[in-house]
Amino acid sequence: MRLTVNAEAHDLAIQGHETLLMVLRDRLQLTGTKLGCARGECGACTVLVDGRGVYGCLTLAAGCEGQSITTIEGMASGESLHPLQHAFIEHDALQCGYCTPGQLMAAAALLSRQPAPSADDVRRGMSGNLCRCGTYPKIVRAVQAAGIAIRDRAAQGEVDASA
């Protein structure tokens, strides 16, 4: 089957039981996506499938044919970081960093649904991603700040386009 990950097509012989997480980590060596529980409890394996956040450990790879998968490795555009990545660094919304890729993916999914989330929206939208270091307060701030940055950039783009 053909799996499209970070805009790159991979032709793979995948067995029915293989999860998206296993394929990403063990076959494609995309180890940025983490394994925390393997049963949909922690969110460390969150990736985007057609822009929607899913748990990689509960998603069968075979079901992802024809869909566009984005992992943490595909979040930045070349050397240019995604506004969420910038915001996580700036607000120190990470400590050990193990849950961070999943948090960023979940945040990207949230911002695509809700471009201007309130703090409560972030808390609701991100509650499927555990962090044992306790970076939550800073994650709320970082996600809101990134939302503003993305909206500002879009507005700037409109201004530039109309100029």
Q: Footprint of another protein on this chain (CB under 8 A)?
A: 22, 25-26, 29-39, 41-42, 44, 71-73, 75-76, 81, 85, 88-90, 92, 94-101, 104, 122-124, 126-140
In the complex, the smallest distance separating the C-beta of residue 160 from another protein, rounded to whole angstroms, is 27
How many other C-beta atoms are found inside a 10 Å radius of the C-beta of residue 88? 26
In the complex, the smallest distance separating the C-beta of residue 142 from another protein, rounded to whole angstroms, is 10
User: Which residues in 59-133 belong to E strands, given as ranges?
Assistant: 68-70
DSSP character for 40? Answer: S
Nearer to another protein, 64 or 141 (CB): 141
In the complex, the smallest distance separating the C-beta of residue 36 from another protein, rounded to whole angstroms, is 5
Exposed/middle/buried for residue 19 (C-beta within 10 Å: 0-12, 13-18, 19+): buried
Cα(34)–Cα(18) distance, integer angstroms: 16
Nearer to another protein, 90 or 149 (CB): 90
Nearer to another protein, 16 or 160 (CB): 16
Cα(34)–Cα(43) distance, integer angstroms: 9
Nearer to another protein, 134 or 161 (CB): 134
